[in-house]
Chains A and B, each alone.
Chain A
Amino acid sequence: MAKKVVKKKNRTKKINGFRIQFMPYSEIKNEGSTERIRKILDIAFTNSILILQGRLKPDEETRLIEDTMAMIGHVKNFKGIELAVISPHENQSPMEKLKYKIATRLSGADLGAITIIGPATVVREIKQDPKKIELLLTK
Chain B
Amino acid sequence: MAMKSVKGFFKKVFANVFKNKKDIRLGFYGPPNAGKTSLANRICKDFTGEEIGSVSKVPHETRNVQFKEKVEISYKGKSMTFKMIDTPGITTRVDYEEFLKYKVKKKEAKSRAKEATQGIIESIKWLDDMDLVVIVLDSTENPYNQVNITIIGNLVARKIPVLIVANKSDLRKAKLKKIEEAFPEYDVIGISAKYGKNLDDFYDAVFKLSKKIK
Contact = CB atoms under 8 A, between A and B. Distances in A.
A62 B93 contact: no
A85 B145 CA distance: 9
Interface stretch (B14-22, B42-50, B148-156): B148-156
Contacts of A68: 92-93
B120 A128 contact: no
Q: Give chain A's interface residue range (CB within 8 Å of chain B).
A: 20 to 34
A130 B178 CA distance: 11
Interface string B15-52: 00000000000000000000000000000000000000
A139 interface: no
Q: Give chain B's interface residue range (CB within 8 Å of chain A).
A: 20 to 34
B162 to A, nearest CB: 13
Q: Interface SS of chain A: helix, strand, loop or mixed?
A: mixed
| Max count, chain A CB within 10 A of own CB: residue among B95, B146, B153 | B146
Contacts of A98: none
Contacts of B149: 85
A129 B144 CA distance: 6
Given A65-B92, A69-B94, A120-B95, A85 B121 contact: no
B95 A80 contact: yes
B94 A72 contact: yes
Nearest to B182: A130
Nearest to B97: A79
Given A62-B154, A70-B121, A130 B92 contact: no
| Max count, chain B CB within 10 A of own CB: residue among A62, A81, A129 | A62
Contact of A80 (B91, B142, B154, B156): B91
Given A65-B124, A80-B95, A72 B117 contact: yes
Interface in B102-118: 113-114, 117-118
